Structure 1
Amino acid sequence: MTAPVLWHLDRPALPVAGRAERFPVRRVYCVGRNYLDHIREMREGDERDDPFFFQKPTDAVVGDGSAVPYPPHTADLQFEGELVVAVGSAASAVGPQEALGHVFGYAAGIDLTRRDRQRDCRDMARPWEAGKSFDHSAPCGVILPAEQAPSTLAGRLTLSVNGRERQHTSLELMIWNVPEIISHLSRSYRLMPGDLIYTGTPAGVAAVVPGDRIRVEITGLPALTVTISEGDTRASQ
């Protein structure tokens, strides 16, 4: 008997502050190397290059309060606290001056990274997927609609682990700001409602282990908290 080839797959959807409806996620884009202090921290130079992007699978998105299983194939799982931009309307080759008109809202996010695998990819000049694009690697908080977040883009980002501050920055220190990110990204992809853009992380990244509680706070936005749980050891065999 031939097995069926069609399945019903639910898209991840994030809560929206003050609304009953949720934000269904279409794609997840991430900006690489967008804070100078983090570039130096990673020993990757100190020049302002054109922004570059990578993607995570849609089902990597998990919400506030989630338990994130420690992933297989790594001994160095690291956090990267980030501002997340939620796209609300189609955007193709838009200029920076019109980019914010396509934003639905903002959220706190974490780009979880298998740093050892990312370094392997970098050393072999291969894509970053092994280090970045794995299950549960894109925690994202409650989305605050843009009209309710007037101070967000000039705000502060803080990430703590078990109550100890590990990252702290001003969002104005991004090499490429949000309008520029949207403009550059829309030249290569047609952005659509449901897209999430993780905008990069500052210095201070470090490893976490099962039991660690990670919290990201950004001015004016709902906080995001996740806990690293024990992974499935069968997946590492």
Structure 2
Amino acid sequence: MPETLFPLPEPLTIPVEGETAEFPIGRIFCVGRNYAAHAAEMGVEVDREAPFYFTKSSANAMLSGGSAPYPPGTENFHYEMELALAIGKPVFRATAQEARAAIYGYGCALDMTRRDLQIRERKKQRPWDLGKDLEQGAVFAPLTKAEDWGPVADQRIWLTLDDEIKQEATLAELIWSVEEIICHLSGFYHLRPGDLILTGTPAGVGPTQPGQEINGGITGLSPISLRLIDPA
């Protein structure tokens, strides 16, 4: 290996229930508008022809249970509660069976969003990076292995802000199933172990302020929490 000019941080790893080894984070793909009610509250229609995606940098991920400063450049910082898929096998142009077999585990995740910047760029038909890919903007709870949790069905997904329910739905409301997402996405990328896919958020997203506590859960998975603090 060549000598490098400076060291880079080691990749973040996510604990796995019942395992001593942890899941290293590779790429983070996010599905947009995968609940009809959320698309409606954002004032857009659901694209039922195919899923669409944006990405978050693994360097911007953090684990559940920590604190994150209110980010710079925004006055409308939103929570989004999501189911995360953890890929454990290489897969390309997957069938539904191959897609299911590629899932190592599932977990709760938060897709934190500078909503004002996202909407501003969306109106100008520009990428959403400033709104979506922000430091400490992807939060992950410990994973549960797929065989220990079972298939995605009608599990409840919810989020509270300072103990007040803000988001509540079931995974049966996903427009694109986890198999459909992996089949479609693997037609464009060679998915590999370490990849994570956030599957979209239910309706009820909203703004946060420093000092507030976010908690969320999905039936049968480890819960997630994040406390917002004053800007750094």
Calculate the TM-score normalised by the size of structure 1. Answer: 0.94
Partner of 1:133: 133
After superposition, where does 1:1-237 map in structure 2 within 5 Å?
5-150=5-150, 152-232=152-232
Letter matched to residue 36 of structure 2: L
Give structure 1 regions of 4+ aligned residues with deviation exceeding 3 angstroms. none
Could you tell me whether the CA contact under 8 Å between 2:32 and 2:53 is conserved in 1? yes
Q: Provide the secondary structure at the position in 2 that maps to 1:101.
A: helix
Provide the rounded CA distance (Å) in 1 between the counterparts of 2:23 and 2:164: 31
Could you tell me whether the CA contact under 8 Å between 1:151 and 1:219 is conserved in 2? no
Question: 1:66: Cα distance to partner?
Answer: 1.0
Letter matched to residue 59 of structure 1: A
Could you tell me whether the CA contact under 8 Å between 1:84 and 1:109 is conserved in 2? yes
Could you tell me whether the CA contact under 8 Å between 2:16 and 2:142 is conserved in 1? yes
Structure 1 runs not aligned, ≥5 long: 233-237
Structure 2 runs not aligned, ≥5 long: none
Q: Deviations over 1:68-120 (max 9, x none)?
A: 11110100000110000000010111022321100000000110000000011
Q: How many residues align?
A: 229
Q: Percent identity?
A: 37
Provide the rounded CA distance (Å) in 2 between the counterparts of 1:5 and 1:121: 35
Q: Provide the secondary structure at the position in 2 that maps to 1:154.
A: coil
Question: 1:49: Cα distance to partner?
Answer: 3.4
Q: Provide the secondary structure at the position in 1 that maps to 2:75.
A: coil
Q: Provide the secondary structure at the position in 1 that maps to 2:207.
A: coil
Provide the rounded CA distance (Å) in 2 between the counterparts of 1:96 and 1:128: 30
Could you tell me whether the CA contact under 8 Å between 1:152 and 1:220 is conserved in 2? no
Q: Deviations over 1:160-179 (max 9, x none)?
A: 11111000011011110100
Provide the rounded CA distance (Å) in 1 between the counterparts of 2:93 and 2:6: 34
Partner of 1:235: none
Provide the rounded CA distance (Å) in 2 between the counterparts of 1:153 and 1:221: 13
Please give the root-mean-square deviation of Cα atoms over the aligned residues, in Å. 1.2
Could you tell me whether the CA contact under 8 Å between 1:85 and 1:107 is conserved in 2? yes
Letter matched to residue 226 of structure 2: V
CA distance 1:8–1:42, shift in 2 (3 Å): closer
Deviates more, 1:191-200 or 1:90-99: 90-99
Q: Deviations over 1:132-179 (max 9, x none)?
A: 001000001000011100154431101111111000011011110100
